[in-house]
């Protein structure tokens, strides 16, 4: 007898079906991510099933009410593609005066993030399992974000796949609409070619964004961005990491 699908299993299937129409036909849509359907462990499944009501947010076609969600007016920081969520949870724990929302399409990472947040007793974090561009478009009000974080996104190394990179002028235009005055954009990548691409795209918005780099390109990893195990391992092998930190221009700059 087939095991009954839980909420976590259904969420997983919903994300998997994103590439198809309602009647099962292939939907040709450029995605900025590859949906890696790694195994969802029983523990991760239970964490999603048991805690989604308090820690999860679902896609909606109207803006989230952040004050109602978090119970305060603290700045809301959105992170796209948090992986297994460890650094995001640590950042939320270290900054209780900020609210964090993480978006990740891979359910094992969502379950792991919720589990670590519960372990740490973090209350200022919510997670979403959905396409980030659709969340930005429909579920986030203009001017409502204090910042956007994108760390180590899929670099799409082949030139023919560069169009799939999430950092494109249209994406930055969308993010700028959602940022409040002096809101920040913080990108990090371990692919130099992608770092150069990110910088080139952001420089196209020099009238709206201020680059905090003293050399007008990259910054050293700031203390507030936790060092990931993946990044630490890469540094030991001599791999570079590039951080970009831009602030939306406003009257107080």
Whole-model pTM: value is 0.85
User: Residue 183 — φ and ψ, nearest 5°?
Assistant: -65, 155
Assess whether pLDDT exceeds 60 at residue 194.
Answer: yes
Averaged pLDDT, 105-116: 95
Instruction: Let me know if residue 1 belongs to a domain.
Output: no
- From the candidates 42, 50, 154, 243, which is the catalytic residue? 154
At 172 the three-state DSSP class reads helix
Domain count, the chain: 1
The reply to whether 79 sits in an annotated binding site is: yes
Rounded CA-CA distance 236/184 in Å is 29
The reply to whether 181 sits in an annotated binding site is: no
Instruction: Let me know if residue 227 belongs to a domain.
Output: yes
Instruction: Let me know if residue 2 belongs to a domain.
Output: no
Instruction: Let me know if residue 222 belongs to a domain.
Output: yes
Instruction: Let me know if residue 67 belongs to a domain.
Output: yes
DSSP lists the bridge partners of residue 127 as 56, 102
The reply to whether 19 sits in an annotated binding site is: no
Q: What would the pLDDT profile of 62-90 be if each residue is shown by its tens digit?
A: 999 999 999 999 999 999 999 999 999 99
* Exposure letters 70-101 (e unless 16+ CB within 10 A, then b): beeebbbbbbbbbbbbbbbbbbbbeeeebbbb
The CATH number given to whatever domain includes residue 200 is: 3.40.50.150
Burial status of residue 163 (CB atoms within 10 A of its CB: 0-12, 13-18, 19 or more): exposed
Instruction: Let me know if residue 253 belongs to a domain.
Output: no
Lowest mean pLDDT among 70-74, 120-124, 214-218, 238-242: 238-242
Catalytic residue list contains 243: no
Instruction: Let me know if residue 16 belongs to a domain.
Output: yes
DSSP-assigned states of every residue in 221-236: PPTTSPPPHHHHHHHH
> Which domain covers residue 106, as residue numbers?
7-248
Averaged pLDDT, 209-232: 92
Instruction: Let me know if residue 105 belongs to a domain.
Output: yes
């Amino acid at each position: 007898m087939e095991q009954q699908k839980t909420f976590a299993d259904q969420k997983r299937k919903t994300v998997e079906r994103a590439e198809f129409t309602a009647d099962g036909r292939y939907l040709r849509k450029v995605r900025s991510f590859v949906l890696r359907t790694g195994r969802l462990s029983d523990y991760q499944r239970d964490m999603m099933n048991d805690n989604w009501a308090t820690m999860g947010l679902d896609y909606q076609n109207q803006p989230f009410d952040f004050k109602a969600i978090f119970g305060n007016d603290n700045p809301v920081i959105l992170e796209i593609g948090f992986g297994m969520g460890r650094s995001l949870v640590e950042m939320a724990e270290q900054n209780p005066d900020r609210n964090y929302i993480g978006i990740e399409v891979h359910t094992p990472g969502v379950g792991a993030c919720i589990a670590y947040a519960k372990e740490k007793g973090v209350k200022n974090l919510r997670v979403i399992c959905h396409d980030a561009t659709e969340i930005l478009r429909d579920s986030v009000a203009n001017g409502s974000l204090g910042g956007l974080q994108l760390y180590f996104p899929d670099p799409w190394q082949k030139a023919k796949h560069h169009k799939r990179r999430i950092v494109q002028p249209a994406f930055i235009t969308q993010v700028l609409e959602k940022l409040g005055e002096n809101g920040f954009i913080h990108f990090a990548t371990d692919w130099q070619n992608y770092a150069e691409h990110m910088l080139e795209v952001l420089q196209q918005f020099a009238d709206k964004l201020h680059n905090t780099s003293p050399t007008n390109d990259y910054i050293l990893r700031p203390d507030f961005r936790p060092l990931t195990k993946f990044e630490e391992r890469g540094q030991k092998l001599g791999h570079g990491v590039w951080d970009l930190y831009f602030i939306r221009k406003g009257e107080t700059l």
